[in-house]
Amino acid sequence: MIVRNVKDVIGTQDEIRTDTWTSRRVLLKKDGMGFSFHETIIHPGTETHIHYQNHLEAVWCVEGDGEIETIADGKKYALGPGVVYALDQHDEHWLRGGKTPLRVICVFNPPLSGREVHDEKGVYPADLEEDVKEVA
Ligand code: 9YT
């Protein structure tokens, strides 16, 4: 069994900080669960363009406020405690922080390896090791 505390991830290489969010990646691909599991803080007043073309992500909002806007149809959804969204269509979107830090718990399938940040199109790269396995 794996037992961890997010406090022990803070300040390590598994805490990734960008201008718009901070992600504490508590379970990763190396843990063998088939998904990765993170606590993410969306910084207030920020906007992030995201398009997980290679992953599915589900997000459970725990604290704070923000907004998500799906780019294909321009729909906006308020984010706050108890709201869950799932990017089941690899939905391209804007994720906006609100007035207070938005704390969310998120799951990625396939799991992240740990160092991923969005590229210029909002994408996290596909897991290169997985590609090699599929070809072999
Ligand atoms: C909700 C979301 O996608 N935020 C961006 C960071 C991501 N959750 C991550 O890498 O943990």
Instruction: Calculate ∠ Cα 22-125-63, nearest 5°.
Output: 25
The predicted-structure confidence for 56-71, as pLDDT tens digits, reads as follows 999 999 999 999 999 9
pLDDT band at 130; cut points 50, 70, 90: low
Domain-embedded: residue 45? yes
Ligand 1 centre distance from Cα of residue 22 (Å): 8
Domain-embedded: residue 69? yes
pLDDT score of 115: 82
Is the beta carbon of 21 within 6 A of some atom in ligand 1?
yes
Q: What percent of the chain has pLDDT over 90?
A: 82
Is the beta carbon of 22 within 6 A of some atom in ligand 1?
no
CB count, 10 Å around CB of 39?
A: 18
CB contact set of 23 (below 8 Å; sequence gap of 6+): 15, 16, 17, 38, 39, 40
Rounded to an integer, the average pLDDT of 15-23 is: 96
Is the beta carbon of 27 within 6 A of some atom in ligand 1?
no
Domain-embedded: residue 99? yes
Domain-embedded: residue 68? yes
CATH assignment at residue 21 = 2.60.120.10
Rounded to an integer, the average pLDDT of 35-64 is: 97
Domain-embedded: residue 124? no
Across-strand partners of 36? 108
128 pLDDT more than 80: no
| Token digits of residue 73 | 């149809």
Domain-embedded: residue 125? no
pLDDT score of 41: 98
Ligand 1 centre distance from Cα of residue 18 (Å): 10
Domain-embedded: residue 26? yes
Ligand 1 centre distance from Cα of residue 56 (Å): 11
Please name which of 36, 47, 51 lies closest in space to residue 108, comparing C-alpha atoms: 36
Report the distance separating Cα 51 and Cα 134, nearest Å.
Answer: 23
Range of the domain at 78: 13-109
Which atom of ligand 1 is nearest the CA belonging to 112? 10
Domain-embedded: residue 6? no
129 pLDDT more than 70: no
Report the distance separating Cα 45 and Cα 40, nearest Å.
Answer: 15
Q: What percent of the chain has pLDDT over 70?
A: 93
Task: Domain count for the chain, please give it.
Answer: 1
